[in-house]
Copies of this chain bind each other. A is one copy, B any other.
Amino acid sequence: MSDFIVSQNPKVETLYIPVFDDVKAAHQRIKPYIHRTPVLTSSYFNQLTGAELFFKCENFQKAGVFKARGASNAVFGLSDEQAKKGVATHSSGNHGLSLSYAAGRRGIKATVIMPHTAPEAKKEAVRAYGGEVIECEPSTAAREATLEALIEKTGADFVHPYNDHRVIAGQATCSLELVDEVGSLDAVVAPIGGGGMISGTCLTLSNISLGTKIYAAEPKNADDAYRSFHAGHIIEDDSPNTIADGLKVSLRPRTWHFVSKYVDEVLLASEEEIINAMYLTWQRMKIVIEPSCAVPLAVILKNKKLFEGRRVGVIITGGNVDLKKLPWMNP
């Protein structure tokens, strides 16, 4: 049942690729610590798009984001011995928050490496969940050095935000619940950044819903996944500028595996289209969503022909947004 990418280069680690049994195990493992989030529908958006949309609302998830799934799967899968040493990650956003949440539920330590330039509110949010913040210089080198030093010292388990089989298997439980709740779908649209959510979506649907098309929705201003998809290899983009701040990171080998194998197309949306979809969602559905998860609706509105008359799942990934700095406010 297992699936490995075995590198020919002895310096490159062999990647364990999670399989559907891992997803089922993850769902059992994390159930006590996550919400089975509701699936909302909207006659307004159905009329506007001509499709039948099913919004899986992970903005109502613990920590306000789907990443609580993957983080909980990693944390609760640790042996007691390893758990005692804690977990660590680098993240200035939702993954750090989610890992702190999960570690708090298990009663173990989570350390999050964040650039000292990260907003104070984000550091506070991690601390509110019981996580410890270690600040570093705002560079990849500084982040990695700080993390390595910490792991060396404490033996903490590193939980990567998305290039981690436990995390991908955890995120995969989202579409498992979606299909269980609404039945067969013609398509599912999820945002793509590092690829954790879309990989989990691929993992589940390729096992239980083969006929479902999988679309990844990406900001045009951070289109590295689009370019990777069409080039056939990972293209990294170091500093994209988009309001969808959860989608700035690049694919990594484990997520590239799923994206290259199972995604049908990567669809792009401009900043204006993303903000418009976000505003409409707040206004019409009365839910608070992040810019990142307005991207799927934005691409559906832009590509109506693709979705007309179809049953379409839309992953609303999270709702962690600074209410005092909304994109339709004057700065």
Residues of A within 8 A of B (CB): 38, 40, 59-60, 64, 279, 282-283, 285-289, 319, 323-324, 326, 328-330
Contact = CB atoms under 8 A, between A and B. Distances in A.
Nearest to A278: B323
Contact of A328 (B287, B323, B328): B323
A40 B37 CA distance: 10
A57 B288 CA distance: 14
A319 B279 contact: no
A328 B328 CA distance: 14
Contact of A60 (B286, B326, B330): B286
Q: Which 3 A-B pairs have the closest CB atoms?
A: A286-B319, A286-B288, A59-B286
Nearest to A65: B286
Contacts of A288: 282-283, 286-288
Q: Which interface residue of A64, A285, A286, A319 has the most chain B CB atoms within 10 A? A: A286
B38 A282 contact: no
Nearest to A64: B286
Contacts of A323: 279, 282-283, 326, 328
25 contacts: A38-B38, A40-B60, A59-B286, A60-B285, A60-B286, A64-B286, A279-B323, A282-B288, A282-B323, A283-B288, A283-B323, A286-B287, A286-B288, A286-B289, A286-B319, A287-B287, A287-B288, A288-B288, A323-B326, A323-B328, A324-B328, A324-B329, A326-B326, A329-B329, A330-B330
